[in-house]
A and B are shown apart, each in its own frame.
Chain A
Amino acid sequence: MSSVLYDVPGPKARRISLIGSIIGVIVIGGLLVLAVMTLAQQGIFDPKRWAVFQIPDVWVLIANGIGATLAAAAVAAVIAFPLGLIVCLLRISDNPWVRVPTRVVLEFLRGMPVVLMMLFVLLVFATSSFVAVVAGLVLYNSAIFAEIIRAGIQSLPKGQREAGLAIGLTSFQSRLTIELPQAIRRMLPSLVAQLVVLLKDTSLGYIVAYGELLRAVQVMADFLGPQYLFPVFFVAAAIYIAIDLAVSRLAIWLERRGSKRAAGGVAHVPVAGIAAK
Chain B
Amino acid sequence: MDVIIENLPQYWDGFLRTLFLSLVSGIIALVVGTVLAAARVSPVAALRGFSMVYVEIVRNTPLTIAFFFAAVVLPRVGITFQQFEVAAIIALSAYTSAFIAEAVRSGVNSVPVGQAEAARSIGMKFSQVLSLIVLPQALRTVIPPLINILIALVKNSSVAGAFYVLELFGYGKQLANANGDAVVWVLVGVAFFYLLITVPLGFLANFVERKVAIAR
Contact = CB atoms under 8 A, between A and B. Distances in A.
A25 B202 CA distance: 40
Contacts of B184: 120, 124
Nearest to B145: A270
B159 A240 contact: no
B62 A203 contact: yes
A274 B62 CA distance: 11
A277 B61 CA distance: 13
A21 B44 contact: yes
A204 B136 CA distance: 38
A200 B62 contact: yes
Interface residues of A, number: 64
Contacts of B61: 200, 237, 240-241, 244
Given A20-B46, A24-B44, A112 B155 contact: yes
B60 A116 contact: no
Contacts of A85: none
A119 B187 contact: yes
Interface string B61-103: 1111100110011001111000000000000000000010001
B64 A206 contact: yes
A37 B173 CA distance: 39
Nearest to A205: B64
B115 to A, nearest CB: 7
A3 B48 CA distance: 13
Given A4-B113, A115-B159, A200-B63, 12 more contacts: A3-B43, A4-B108, A17-B44, A20-B43, A28-B50, A112-B191, A113-B194, A196-B60, A207-B64, A233-B69, A240-B62, A274-B152
11 contacts: A2-B113, A23-B46, A28-B46, A110-B198, A115-B161, A116-B190, A123-B187, A207-B64, A218-B72, A226-B76, A244-B60
